[in-house]
Amino acid sequence: VSHGRKDSESEKTRSAKKNISDFLHRDSPQNKNDLQFPEFICVCSQVLLQVEIYEIEGNIFRIKINEAAPLRARYEVPDVLIKEPTTQRLSVSQKEAGILVLTSVNKDYTLQVTANPFQVELHSKGETVLSMNSNGLLYFEHLQPPPSDRKSTEKQEDLGLWQEKFGSFLDFKAHGPSSVGVDFSLHGFDHVYGIPQHAESLLLKNTSDGDAYRLYNLDIFGHKIHEKIGIYGSVPLLLAHKPNRTSGIFWLNSSETLVDINTKAVSGSAADTAKQRAVPLTDVRWMSESGIIDVFLLMGPTAFDIFKQFAQLTGTQALPPLFSLGYHQCRWNYEDEQDVKAVDAGFDEHDIPYDVIWLDIEHTDGKRYFTWDKKKFQNPKRMQELLRKKKRKLVVIVDPHIKVDPMYALYSQGKDKGYFVKDRNGQDFEGICWPGSSCYLDFTNPEVRKWYADQFAFKTYKGSTNILFVWNDMNEPSVFKGAELTMQKDAVHYKNWEHRELHNLYGFYQQMATAEGLIKRSSGKERPFVLTRSFFAGSQKYGAVWTGDNTAEWGYLKISIPMLLTISLAGISFCGADVGGFIGDPEPELLVRWYQAGAYQPFFRGHSNMESKRREPWLFGEKNTQIIREAIRERYVLLPYLYTLFYRAHTVAEPVMRPLWVEFPGKLETFGVENEYMLGKQVWVGEQYSPAIWYDFRTFIRMEDPGTLKIPVTLDNIPVFQRGGTVIPLKTTAGKSTEWMIDVSYELHVALDTEARAIGELYLDDGHSFQYLHKKQFLYRKFTFHKNILSSR
């Protein structure tokens, strides 16, 4: 595919979509002759393609399309699926010339496969749920011999696709253009969600008149709001919802991907054939620069079924250590050991709980990761011991770029072992990042990941202790002065795969290696905590993500909610946004509001840029300090409930933070709500919509009026409600950190429904080890209130 990039960033996005659209409008691949399923010919090339269709247990179907005999292997995404899925045998219920009808094991679904033109229709109980290639936009750019091997009579017009110039960069395609794409039609659906990460609304927009959604992990400082350009992470999972069904499409491809969405109404037959009714239809077109077509159709039929199906493929959210659900204090940068000590003391002086203080890149010796600045951090172990006595933790940054310095052990070892990504000429790829000239570890190589994991051993990582945890930043990967500030697509990885094939996986692999390193240093006993900026499908298995370099403006606080809801829908429950905004200086009211919002979101970290004024929670006057203190304390009191939600996310893939429509799937008025949300099933954070019985979380006053409520709000609080019919476990008071609260007693808030009943759960373990898994050392209680009796089992 010709991506036709320009120098200007706004033009890049437009041109990527336009050029992919141009070639997709060539002849659609419909064979003019009789076909023998499952192979068909692409007419523009006469290359044989092979289709594979599988049923996977749990209402999942997988469709793979590849060249029957490619010149070389095409990239198939490894390591994202937790295992090769268990398949079930589809039965052939009808076979005639060019048409095959397949029936699922449970007889609930049929797939009608047509050879000419190629199309797959998926039916459930007589209803068409989804069709593939119904618009004939399937495209598969077959691998070709390089231009020098072509016959002299070959047309020259396509030879430019083997190399593209944009600005001063030349992208040399060693194996030629190899893009793929196809369309899906979602019948009866006009609400679609997912495909993070974008600074966009929860409900995905119609792109027919503008830019497609782009999935391409990029370091974008101060990303703009309401743009479809890809930012730090990519999860190619799209959900479609209507009152009686939720469906999903998981497009397993790690190269640059565009997603075009077109929602419209089509005429459909009513029960009375004399009448016609408008039926919504959403066309979703996926286009990727390379790889194969490997797509999973998740048939639900509920949203919670979709979450389980996606987790069955890519894994559930790792159960985080309890401390990581507390409040985190970060800044680029806390200057030295004295600064760390003073900030830590400030929290105690102002009676504000917190669990973790963070160190950004300036804590290192000249941006050499796994080292300490010898003047500013002369005794990092002593600093950590002081934090340990306060029952707190430290997180340090470890980026993927390695300073080119023969005296730096990590660089010299990596170079000697051949562990860096190569350029197209076989030399170590060098780019500019924070340390200056840098090489980039090839985390796609399992040997590199194992070696990298070993770097976290206490004897290797001098000055580290078991209260030190890790933050992976800049791992899109970020390359200053690179095309779009990232690695060139013709860089070469393990097994000679070009970077273009796996770009969106790079950060996923670094977080994987880091998490394994933290587990390994404890001999497999302790849970890791790793925050990553770049992510992909399956990143939930390794830790947390955040929304990147946001700005201290009201619009960024507002957009953070749909961004986090979208990430949560894509399987990553442990997500958050920098409280206060990373860039700039928030006005006091904005900072207060952001703390109140962050206290009810999964990952809760205050963070700011080095250019921003200091903004520890006590620097904005006593009144604001008091409100922030109360918000953070509310978070700590809520931890038993939040930890139980994470256990549910870990075991049954229920998102911790979820849109209202997930809990109220039949209520159309919830489908577009993005400024309020549910925390689990029991807590609603919002001020307007109320499709159930609710009690004010703080005053216990019952909201008498069902339906839509307008709740008056003061600066002192944000509206939070407990659902009638639920029991929420809480701590009776907040402590200095989570570890200070181990012996603090619990309380249960019992909110009755119309029948004076309520149920709830509490999950408890030691909060840090894998004993819950290996030795079943945990407590899991169900509470029931019925006939004025509270029981626990």
The catalytic site residues sit at 473, 476, 549
3-state secondary structure (DSSP) of residue 346: helix
The beta-strand segments (E) located in 320-384 are 327-329, 356-359
Among the listed residues 9, 255, 283, 32, the one whose alpha carbon sits nearest the alpha carbon of residue 141:
255
3-state secondary structure (DSSP) of residue 742: coil
Report the interhelical angle of 588-598 vs 622-652 (nearest 10°).
30
Q: What is the distance between the alpha carbons of residues 350 and 331, in angstroms, rounded to a whole number?
A: 19
Q: What's the one-letter identity of residue 217?
A: N
Cβ-based burial of 290 (10 A; exposed 0-12, middle 13-18, buried ≥19): buried
Q: What is the distance between the alpha carbons of residues 9 and 228, in angstroms, rounded to a whole number?
A: 12
**CB distance 538 to 80 below 8 Å:** yes
3-state secondary structure (DSSP) of residue 641: helix
**CB distance 521 to 457 below 8 Å:** yes
CA dihedral (572, 543, 738, 627) in degrees, to 10, reads -50
Q: How many residues does the chain have?
A: 793
Q: Tokens 């054939």 correspond to what residue?
A: 273
3-state secondary structure (DSSP) of residue 124: strand
CA atoms within 13 A on the CB side of 394: 28
Q: What is the distance between the alpha carbons of residues 644 and 319, in angstroms, rounded to a whole number?
A: 10
**CB distance 433 to 395 below 8 Å:** no
Q: What is the distance between the alpha carbons of residues 357 and 329, in angstroms, rounded to a whole number?
A: 5
Say which residues have a Cβ less than 8 Å from residue 579's Cβ, sequence separation at least 6. 591, 594, 595, 597, 598, 604, 605, 606, 607
Q: What is the distance between the alpha carbons of residues 263 and 250, in angstroms, rounded to a whole number?
A: 19
Say which residues have a Cβ less than 8 Å from residue 308's Cβ, sequence separation at least 6. 58, 652, 653
Q: What is the distance between the alpha carbons of residues 490 and 494, in angstroms, rounded to a whole number?
A: 13
Task: Give a three-class secondary structure readout of 510-565.
Answer: HHHHHHHHHHHHCCCCECCCEEECCECCCHHHCCEEECCCCECCHHHHHHHHHHHH
Instruction: Write out the two tokens for 467.
Output: 């209260």
